[in-house]
Amino acid sequence: IAIVSDGLWWVCQGGVLTQGSDADLPAPIYVVEMDGYFVYLIADGRVFVSGLNDGLTIDPLAFGKADKVADGLSAGAVRGDDLILSGPRSTEFHHDVGTTPWPFQRVASIDFGCFAAGSMLPVNVIKDESSFSTVIWAATDKLGAYTGIMMLNGYSPLKISPNWVDRLLQAEIDPPSIRAYTRSHDGHVFYKI
């Protein structure tokens, strides 16, 4: 388990919580796990990975950049083979291609960013007795303006929020305080923000 808060990071392995202190990792703002790597997001758009199955070791050459649009990073998620890196005006999708020291390669990008990092969640949706994985988040357009709650359909976002929810979120004066969570009940999946 990796935890990021206020530029500091911790890893819990074998029931022991250890604060990360590797000088090769700048202050992270977000962390996700994919394919045995902890992926640490940096506000300026850089992305670092831990050693494989070793959350406390950072190789100074094991980094990439979300730079299709130079807007930095806000949040991340994992959906199947996709490492999703979202900034305030854009989102990139990367796949693990097995290269070293940086294992990921961009495969797609969209002109929708993240309005509130705490809103981005991977979700398993059940529909017509089948299921699929997606990501839901409070999104922005390519200018950085709030545009709605979006759900990924492949690499295309679909707006799922009604206008009254959009008005409430647009009026929020502290977007970093926005949080979301999911739950399921009787086969229905709920995204709550």
pLDDT of 78 reads 97
pLDDT of 131 reads 82
Banded pLDDT at 65 (limits 50, 70, 90) = very high
pLDDT of 126 reads 76
| Residue 184 reports pLDDT greater than 90 | no
Place of tokens 């229905």: 188
β-sheet with 30-34: strand ranges across: 30-34, 37-41, 46-51, 54-65
pLDDT of 32 reads 96
pLDDT of 142 reads 95
pLDDT of 160 reads 96
How many residues does the structure list for the chain?
A: 193
Banded pLDDT at 188 (limits 50, 70, 90) = confident
Residue of 107 and 186 predicted with greater confidence:
107
| Residue 165 reports pLDDT greater than 80 | yes
Q: How far apart are the C-alpha atoms of 153 and 27, rounded to whole Å?
A: 32
| Residue 156 reports pLDDT greater than 90 | yes
Extract the runs of DSSP E, i.e. beta strands, from 44-129: 46-51, 54-65, 75-79, 82-86, 91-96, 104-110, 113-114, 121-127
Banded pLDDT at 13 (limits 50, 70, 90) = confident
What share of the chain in percent tops pLDDT 90? 80
| Residue 141 reports pLDDT greater than 80 | yes
